[in-house]
Amino acid sequence: MSNKIRVMTSGNLAFAEAMRQIDPDVVAAYPITPSTEIPMKFADFVANGRVTSEYIAVESEHSAISACVGASAAGARVMTASSANGVALMHEIFPIAASFRAPIVFGLVNRSLGAPVNIHCDHSDSMPERDSGWIQIYCEDAQEVYDSVLLAVRLAEDPRVLTPVFVCQDGFITSHCYEAVELLSDETVKNFVGERTPQYPLLDTDDPVSYGSFTMSEYYFEIKRNQMEGMNNVLSVYAELAAELERETGRNYRPVENYRADDADYLIVVMSSAAGVVKDVVDELREEGVKAGALRVRFFRPFPRGELASLAKGKRGVAVLDRSASIGGTAPLSSEVKSALYALDKRVPVQEYIFGLGGRDLYAKGARAVFEKMIAGDYGEEARFIGLLEKDDEDERA
């Protein structure tokens, strides 16, 4: 009997199914669109006796993440999910979770932050958390969501890492659209994730510890440095885990996906579901004799600067597509890419683009216009926009 089954499902339901197979000790959640289906489906599993998890229905997102931190510090394996303003309400607790080295796995279904109120996708909810000390993984499709949840549990709990993880997917685009996903058997998943062996659990009465202590300047700096070491270990530990999962699935997701980039002259750097459109345009341009390529950044934290710089070295141009803005500064992905390329011996021109805010679609015409501007040597210091309803951007509108 095969240890795999192929089903039609969505990103949210794939995440929930992975949760069922993992059967975490505690799930605390306060549902919000478009992540609602994750705790909703998992609550069904709890009600029907398909998991042994303790499900905590709380009164707010802030309470949800607070309960998760307490349970994780006690030694439990913990998972949750949220989006948008719910994520923003949790903001106070995220650095605490990271400082406690609480290996929480969090399904972050990307959605715009209000105001104005908008329930559709951009990355304005996860990007404000990029310096909170959490690992950030961005998925292109539902299959990657499912596989990433399994990897995230092992990664977060590895004693060399001990860091919470956001597994991000694009709201509605990935979370609600159905596609074929290959699921592993319950036994295979159980064997892969194993059981959590907590370090310094709060409920170990034989070896009492303290969490949330007041720390003066004598030790605060060292604690933060310790967190940085855990984050610095992520990519090497992830490589081990990804290779292990690849032996089961045949799938391996690198921190940066290289799509026809090796011999490319021009690259677009992008994250999550929009990568599919860019890849299609790359294929079209290749047929026309243009050496186009794409890099999809999967790990935003820790940022794989060495791998990205190696892939971009020697290119004639790079365009970075951000699905969020840093109002008054450089957009998050563009900022990281520029920083990564700064140390190259030969400068590679980089153009910042902002697209897709509030769920606006990225069409092939917009991606092609970005390549055409690079080919023409058209770069500027200011951010440009794709699909904006302004005359100046007419050539990049669908």
**Nearest-10 Cα torsion for 309, 312, 315, 318:** -110
H or E element at residue 92: none
Residue 390: the pLDDT is 77
Q: Which of 78, 80, 124, 128 is nearest to 101 (CA)?
A: 78
User: Can you give the C-alpha Rg of the chain in angstroms?
Assistant: 21
- The three-class DSSP label of residue 161 is coil
Q: Which of 194, 187, 203, 168 is nearest to 74 (CA)?
A: 203
CB-neighbour burial class of residue 218 (10 A; exposed 0-12, middle 13-18, buried 19+): exposed
Residue 394: the pLDDT is 45
What is the value of pTM for the model shown? Answer: 0.97
Spatial distance between the Cα atoms of 116 and 38, rounded to a whole number of angstroms:
25
Residue 3: the pLDDT is 87
pLDDT per 10-residue tile (average), the chain, 398 residues: 88 98 98 98 98 98 98 98 98 98 99 96 98 98 98 98 99 98 98 96 94 92 96 98 98 97 98 98 98 98 98 98 98 98 97 98 98 98 93 51
Contact between residue 358 and residue 120 where contact means Cβ atoms under 8 Å apart: yes
- The three-class DSSP label of residue 309 is helix
Residue 391: the pLDDT is 60
Residue 191: the pLDDT is 98
Spatial distance between the Cα atoms of 239 and 228, rounded to a whole number of angstroms:
18
